[in-house]
């Protein structure tokens, strides 16, 4: 579908001719290609330097791109195959310009989309999709926390993915425990701890792949804290020799985390060597310079962003500040065509076509287009207030749980209150066919539903406020935020980023299409295509189905998602007269949170 989106608007396409004289100057000629339709498009050609980078991170399985017609999804419609064609074209341009261009990824290949998560029974998450990721000419990739929640996924990376990367898959502070040839368990790095290599133009590179202090990893995987890693003997040895530049790739946000620890350790030995940092994990677009000869870039999530960094070196004054640029590209064919600059048309390469076809075959094998019903409208995670008719949280609480959990349930006729947490939802749900893929994208977690029978309504109605109040206490907030962050939770950081964009909307032009509006700590404009911010509204941690209109002493079923059982019991224990313990808790239905939207859609959206 998205492949036919090649309608070009009134674009000015850069035609670039590089001089072969190697002095780094370029003549740019512009040709106007005009058609009638007006379309959101990049506003300026990329600025190339001597060393250039294309960066992806946190793709989480969105390898066929965003496929829904609702705004702004078409802006992210480029799939991994189209991206591969773009990379090939850019590599050719780098040769013409006589500069280096490297392709980098900062991890989180697992969890987020049916292409990775919709595998049939007996499969392993991302095993099939990663075969196509490995076909792209990545120079360096780093491990993410989502590679470590389930040992089988890490083992699959170790056994099947890492060997394909020819020593360029880095896990400086992450190990896996496997059996050695004598059947003895040994802890070994998942990929390489570091790699030294030369660029096409012969520049010497020393590269590391660092994971932030992650604590949610599975048994038989090990994450060493960043501060401990830089004290290791191997680290000192790896950075001792001076390369032409350090390439620090890692699944760690470029601000408010531990990059300075790694940066300072390198700087202590090499005060002026260029350091290029590519981070990830908080799913935002972000950039900062730790000094005048370094830049740190983070390139969003879900193939909604392709990052660009260029570094122009001052050859006459080799210790001077480096002239950097960075850009956040919306991955779609218009963007790619604009920047490959040949004829305003991005030619599919054999590799690109093979990657797209291979991913489509996975979607077919996994039956991802299996349709449960048709969503009548868009439902948003944070673009609409809660409660409201546009909120997916309202949809879940008011319709999906009451209707979906009632299917094949002998307790259907007993009044109830159903409670779940808003964190069980991961993505917007868009108008149109609602498929297995959409279920996995929006509500992926395999949580079950429990209940306590015969709870007086007057007692049951106190549970939701109790849960949300516990969630709001300042003390809990600090401790829990820290703990949740260590375990991999990034929605707080991502939501703050989105809220900030929405709060600054008054200063943004009103006539642009919706999208990210990035304000980072690097000079110049970052977003390749200017946008108006998406609305942002906060939501409570916990939500509940409507309260039955009954006498307060009426006895109802108190239904809740399994992992809040102890919180629910703890709140009930503080209510006078309520005597419940874990023996009071029963299974409500075999339907899981990762199925309930589909069950609902079959009932209500057909």
Binding interface with ligand NAG (CB under 6 A): 5, 39-40, 71-72, 74-75, 151, 175, 177, 185, 187-189, 213, 219-220, 222, 224-228, 257-258, 289, 291-292, 321, 332, 334, 389, 407-408, 509, 511-514, 551, 553, 579, 581-583, 591, 599
Residue 58 or 348: the one with the smaller Cβ distance to Zn ion is 58
DSSP state of 379: B
Least distance in Å: CB of 336 to ligand NAG? 10
CA distances from 123 to 126, 179, 367, 447, 560 (A): 9, 21, 14, 20, 30
| Binding-site string for Zn ion from residue 3 to residue 42, where x marks contact by CB under 5 A and - marks none | ----------------------------------------
Q: Which residues contact 526 (CB under 8 A, 6 or more apart)?
A: 285, 287, 326, 327, 328, 518, 519, 520
Residue 23 or 317: the one with the smaller Cβ distance to ligand NAG is 317
Residue 33 or 512: the one with the smaller Cβ distance to ligand NAG is 512
Least distance in Å: CB of 71 to ligand NAG? 3
Contact 591, 386 (CB under 8 A): no
59 belongs to the binding site for Zn ion (CB under 5 A): no
Binding test (CB under 5 A) with Zn ion, winner from 88, 106, 130, 145: 145
> Which residue of this chain has its Cβ atom nearest to ligand NAG in the complex?
292
125 belongs to the binding site for Zn ion (CB under 5 A): no
Least distance in Å: CB of 145 to Zn ion? 4
Q: Is the dihedral of CA 354, 368, 498, 280 positive or negative?
A: negative
Least distance in Å: CB of 576 to ligand NAG? 16
299 belongs to the binding site for Zn ion (CB under 5 A): no
Residue 144 or 598: the one with the smaller Cβ distance to Zn ion is 144
Least distance in Å: CB of 100 to ligand NAG? 22
- Rounded distance between C-alpha atoms, residue 428 and residue 283, angstroms: 16
108 belongs to the binding site for Zn ion (CB under 5 A): yes
Contact 419, 560 (CB under 8 A): yes
Question: Which of the choices Zn ion, ligand NAG, none does residue 321 contact, using the CB cut-off of 5 to 8 A by kind?
Answer: ligand NAG
Residue 294 or 424: the one with the smaller Cβ distance to ligand NAG is 294
281 belongs to the binding site for Zn ion (CB under 5 A): yes
Element (H, E) at 104: strand 100-105
- Rounded distance between C-alpha atoms, residue 234 and residue 259, angstroms: 18
Question: Which of the choices ligand NAG, Zn ion, none does residue 108 contact, using the CB cut-off of 5 to 8 A by kind?
Answer: Zn ion
Q: Which residues contact 255 (CB under 8 A, 6 or more apart)?
A: 286, 288, 296, 521
Q: Which of residues 167-226 bind Zn ion (CB under 5 A)?
A: none
Least distance in Å: CB of 60 to Zn ion? 6
Residue 58 or 447: the one with the smaller Cβ distance to Zn ion is 58
Question: Which of the choices Zn ion, ligand NAG, none does residue 145 contact, using the CB cut-off of 5 to 8 A by kind?
Answer: Zn ion
Q: Which residues contact 123 (CB under 8 A, 6 or more apart)?
A: none
Q: What is the dihedral of CA 568, 574, 579, 582, to 10 degrees?
A: 30
Classify 526 as helix, strand or coil.
coil
58 belongs to the binding site for Zn ion (CB under 5 A): yes
- Rounded distance between C-alpha atoms, residue 409 and residue 401, angstroms: 12
438 belongs to the binding site for Zn ion (CB under 5 A): no
Q: Which stretch binds Zn ion (CB under 5 A): 35-43, 139-147, 181-189, 239-247?
A: 139-147
Strands of 241-364, DSSP E: 245-251, 275-279, 285-288, 294-299, 306-312, 323-329
Q: Which residue has the tokens 């600025």?
A: 47
Tokens describing residue 155: 């083992």
Classify 548 as helix, strand or coil.
coil
- CB burial of 444-468 (b: ≥16 within 10 Å; e: otherwise) equals beebebbbbbebbbebbbebbebbb
Question: Which of the choices ligand NAG, Zn ion, none does residue 39 contact, using the CB cut-off of 5 to 8 A by kind?
Answer: ligand NAG
Residue 199 or 255: the one with the smaller Cβ distance to ligand NAG is 255
147 belongs to the binding site for Zn ion (CB under 5 A): no
Residues that bind Zn ion (CB under 5 A): 58, 108, 144-145, 281
């Amino acid at each position: 579908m998205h492949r036919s989106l090649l309608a070009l608007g009134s674009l000015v396409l850069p035609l670039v001719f590089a001089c072969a004289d190697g002095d780094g100057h370029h003549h740019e000629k512009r040709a106007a290609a005009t058609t009638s339709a007006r379309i959101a498009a990049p506003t300026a050609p990329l600025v190339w330097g001597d060393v250039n980078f294309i960066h992806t991170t946190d793709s989480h399985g969105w390898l066929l791109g965003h496929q829904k017609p609702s705004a702004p999804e078409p802006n992210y419609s480029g799939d991994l195959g189209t991206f591969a064609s773009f990379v090939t074209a850019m590599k050719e341009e780098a040769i013409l310009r006589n500069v280096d261009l490297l392709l980098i990824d900062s991890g989180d290949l697992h969890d987020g989309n049916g292409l990775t998560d919709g595998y049939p029974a007996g499969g392993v998450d991302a095993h099939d999709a990663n075969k196509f990721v490995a076909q792209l000419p990545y120079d360096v990739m780093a491990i993410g926390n989502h590679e470590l929640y389930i040992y089988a996924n890490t083992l699959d990376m170790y056994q099947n993915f890492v060997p394909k990367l020819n020593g360029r898959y880095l896990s400086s502070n992450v190990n896996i425990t496997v059996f050695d040839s004598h059947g003895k368990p040994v802890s070994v790095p998942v990929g390489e701890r570091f790699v030294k290599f030369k660029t096409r133009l012969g520049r010497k590179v020393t590269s590391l792949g660092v994971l932030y202090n992650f604590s949610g990893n599975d048994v038989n995987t090990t994450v060493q804290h960043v501060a401990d890693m830089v004290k290791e003997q191997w680290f000192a040895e790896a950075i001792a020799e001076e390369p032409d530049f350090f390439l620090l790739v890692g699944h760690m946000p470029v601000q408010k985390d531990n990059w300075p620890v790694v940066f300072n350790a390198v700087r202590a030995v090499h005060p002026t060597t260029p350091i290029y940092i590519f981070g990830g994990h908080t799913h935002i677009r972000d950039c900062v310079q730790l000094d005048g000869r370094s830049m740190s870039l983070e390139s969003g999530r879900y193939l909604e962003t392709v990052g660009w960094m260029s570094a122009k070196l001052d050859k006459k004054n080799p210790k001077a500040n480096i002239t950097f640029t960075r850009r956040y590209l919306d991955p779609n064919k218009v963007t790619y065509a604009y920047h490959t600059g040949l004829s305003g048309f991005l030619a599919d390469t054999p590799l690109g076509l093979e990657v797209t076809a291979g991913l489509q075959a996975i979607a077919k094998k996994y039956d991802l287009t299996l349709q449960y019903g048709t969503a009548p409208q868009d439902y948003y995670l944070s673009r609409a207030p809660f409660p409201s008719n546009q909120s997916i949280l309202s949809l879940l609480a008011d319709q999906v749980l009451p209707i979906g959990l009632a299917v094949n349930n002998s307790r259907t006729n007993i009044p109830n209150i159903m409670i779940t947490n808003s964190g069980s939802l991961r993505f917007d749900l868009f108008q149109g066919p609602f498929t297995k893929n959409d279920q996995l994208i929006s509500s992926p977690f395999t949580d079950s539903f429990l209940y306590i029978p015969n709870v007086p309504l007057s007692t049951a109605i106190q549970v939701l406020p109790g849960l949300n109040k516990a969630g709001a206490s300042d003390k809990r907030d600090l401790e829990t935020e820290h703990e949740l962050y260590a375990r991999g939770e990034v929605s707080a950081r991502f939501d703050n980023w989105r809220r900030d964009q929405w709060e600054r909307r008054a200063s943004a032009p009103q006539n642009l299409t919706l999208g990210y509006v990035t304000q980072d700590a690097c000079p110049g404009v970052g977003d390749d295509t200017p946008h108006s911010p998406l609305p942002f509204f906060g939501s409570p941690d916990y939500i509940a189905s409507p309260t039955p209109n009954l006498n307060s002493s009426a006895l109802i079923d108190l239904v809740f998602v399994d992992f809040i059982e102890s919180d629910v019991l703890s709140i009930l224990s503080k209510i006078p007269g309520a005597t419940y313990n874990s023996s009071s808790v029963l299974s409500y239905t075999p339907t899981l949170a990762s199925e309930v939207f589909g069950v609902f859609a079959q009932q209500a959206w057909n």
